[in-house]
């Protein structure tokens, strides 16, 4: 989030984190659902098109990042749908909350800023990280 001139570095760091999360989720997935992927991609396209007019030179990095976080969520949701363990539910919920956090951050950065957005971003970010951690520990 801060400083604003380090946005691309932060995006890259989170991109790498999503790659690691994705590998972990898909390592445990027994079967994949193209329905889940289709729904996530549809949501991603809608959000991306909403942001696109203001992305400027960030349109390609943001597109790649969007794909990465959606594939991570796909793995988490598919694992939850096939796993009997509560830990998989924590992972899926963590992935969805992570998307919500990044969505608020993207809207704040590229569309319109709010006095409360930083609070929402931080609460959802730490909640997502706690849930993703619980998915491994429980």
pLDDT, residue 5, reads: 76
pLDDT, residue 31, reads: 83
Work out how many domains the chain is built from and give that number. Answer: 1
Neighbouring CB atoms inside 10 A of 24's CB total: 17
Per-residue pLDDT tens over the stretch 21-32: 999 999 988 888
Q: Which two tokens stand for residue 8?
A: 């691309």
pLDDT, residue 121, reads: 95
Residues of the chain with pLDDT under 70: 1-4
pLDDT, residue 7, reads: 86
- Report how far residue 87's alpha carbon sits from residue 37's, in angstroms, rounded to the nearest whole number: 21
pLDDT, residue 132, reads: 96
> Range of 71's domain?
4-137
Per-residue pLDDT tens over the stretch 66-87: 999 999 999 999 999 999 899 9
User: Taking a C-beta distance cutoff of 8 angstroms, is the pair 106, 62 a contact?
Assistant: yes
pLDDT, residue 1, reads: 55
């Amino acid at each position: 989030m801060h400083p604003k001139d380090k946005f691309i570095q932060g995006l890259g760091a989170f991109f790498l984190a999503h790659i690691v999360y994705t590998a972990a989720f898909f390592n445990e997935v027994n079967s994949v659902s193209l329905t889940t992927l289709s729904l996530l991609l549809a949501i991603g396209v809608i959000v991306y098109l909403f942001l696109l007019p203001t992305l400027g030179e960030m349109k390609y990095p943001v597109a790649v990042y969007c794909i990465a976080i959606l594939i991570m969520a796909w793995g988490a949701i598919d694992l939850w749908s096939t796993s009997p363990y509560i830990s998989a539910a924590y992972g899926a919920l963590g992935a969805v909350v992570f998307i919500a956090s990044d969505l608020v951050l993207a809207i704040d950065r590229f569309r319109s800023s709010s006095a409360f957005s930083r609070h929402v971003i931080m609460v959802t970010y730490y909640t997502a990280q706690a849930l993703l951690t619980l998915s491994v520990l429980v």
